[in-house]
Structure formats: C-alpha cells, structure tokens
Amino acid sequence: MIFRLLSFGVFVAVLGFAPSIAAQTSAHASDKRRQALYAAHRADFDYLLGDWEFTAESKQYRKFNGRWSAVRLETGQILDEYRVLGGNGETIHVTSTVRSYNSAADRWELIGMDRGGGLLDFGTAQRVGPEVHLEQKFGVAGGTPITLRIRYYNIQADRFSWRADRSTDDGKTWTPDFQRIEARRIGPLRSLGALAPAPKARN
C-alpha cells in the first residue's frame, strides 16, 4: 500500500513538472527565434548610416532641400536627424527619429521627435526585398496628425530614393506620391560608442 502511494506521488510530481519542462523548452525556442530574427534584420537600416544631402519635392511644400544624418547607437538602435534648409542655409524644420528592431513582433519600430512634440509620432517598418517600407504618423501632438506610407528604394552605397503617400483620415484615403526625396551621400557610415561605458576590469 505504501509503495502504491509513493508511486502515485511520484506520478503526480512528474505530471506537475512536465508543463514546466515544456514551458522552458518553448521559451528557449522563442529566444532562439528572436535571436535569429535580430541577426537577420539588425542591418536593415544600415544604408541610412552616415551623412546625406537631399533634394525633395512635395505637393504641399513644392521643392526644398536639406541634410540627413544617422548613427548607430552602441546598443544597436539607429538615431537620425532630418533637417530641411532654407535658401540661405537656415533651418526650416528638423526631426529626430529613433529606429529600433522588435524581434518579438518581427518589425522595426520608430518614434519621431519634433521640438515640443513628445514621443507620439510612432511608426513601423519592414524590409521587403531590396526596399524598406514604412508607415508612420506625424504631428500627433498638434491634434491634426497625418500618416505617411513611405518606400525607400533604389538603395545604393552612395544614394537612395524615398517616396511617400499621405493620408489625413487615418488611412481611409491616400494621396499618392505626396512627397519624393533623392538623397546623395556626403559622409561615411557613422556609429556612436557607449554613452555610459563600463569601467575597465582591474587585474
């Protein structure tokens, strides 16, 4: 009788332990998948690194030009600054963006930052063959947001093209080719080291 009770207890313990093993196995597989996705996509925006000058044409703002610079942070994210210039080189508009790959969702996520605009201009992006496709809201803090559906294409070492459709009704209708950009490289790829580097190990 005692043996049977002990055997039953062991059986119950094994049943309780089995889901834990399955959960650990599943978590390990999920971690492996996320690591593989990150390795596959961490360089999707590398073409943007460095310094660029661009010319642009918009259905709202007509022709304009500017500078665009991007660096890779030590933790892998991309930080870029997009600056529209006037005829005398003065700054008309500037936006900073942080781009970070989310391996759990298998997509890039972006936050655009204008002065006083907070962290509301969210977007997502994915590599599609030789192109990068992006959708992002702008001007959310001002209460009249627009959505741009952007395509980076003709991506080469020294140039890339950019085209955007615009929606003012949260994607219900779109104005095609609302804005185009042609960018030309004027500086090499750049990265930013650790802002808070670890101290050197003592012997």
Choice among 9-13, 34-38, 178-182 with the minimum mean pLDDT: 9-13
Residue with tokens 């219900």: 172
Alpha helices in the chain (DSSP H): 2-41
The CA radius of gyration of the chain, in Å to the nearest whole number, is 24
Q: What is the mean pLDDT of residues 72-86?
A: 96
pLDDT value at residue 175: 97
Q: How confident is the model at residue 200 (pLDDT cuts 50, 70, 90)?
A: confident
pTM of the model: 0.82
Q: What is the 3-state secondary structure (H, E, C) of 140-180?
A: CCCCCCEEEEEEEEEEECCEEEEEEEEECCCCCCCEEEEEE
* Phi-psi map region of 116: left, alpha, beta (phi>0 left; psi -120 to 50 alpha): left
Q: 161, 153 in Cβ contact below 8 A?
A: yes
Residue percentage of the chain with pLDDT more than 70: 86
Q: Quick check: 62 pLDDT over 80?
A: yes
pLDDT value at residue 22: 59
Q: How confident is the model at residue 164 (pLDDT cuts 50, 70, 90)?
A: very high
Q: What is the mean pLDDT of residues 170-196?
A: 95
Q: How confident is the model at residue 15 (pLDDT cuts 50, 70, 90)?
A: very low
Indicate the average pLDDT of the chain.
89
pLDDT value at residue 12: 43
Q: What confidence tens digit (pLDDT) does each residue in 24-33 have?
A: 667 667 889 9
3 or 75, which is more confident? 75
Cα–Cα distance for residue pair 120/140, rounded to 1 Å: 6
Beta strands 175-187 and 107-113, pairing class: unpaired
Q: Domains (ranges, CATH) in the chain? A: 46-187 (2.40.128.20)
Q: What is the mean pLDDT of residues 147-154?
A: 98
Q: 116, 132 in Cβ contact below 8 A?
A: no
Cα–Cα distance for residue pair 167/175, rounded to 1 Å: 6
Q: What is the mean pLDDT of residues 87-91?
A: 93
Backbone angles phi, psi at 126, to 5 degrees: -145, 150
Q: How confident is the model at residue 23 (pLDDT cuts 50, 70, 90)?
A: low
Q: Quick check: 88 pLDDT over 80?
A: yes
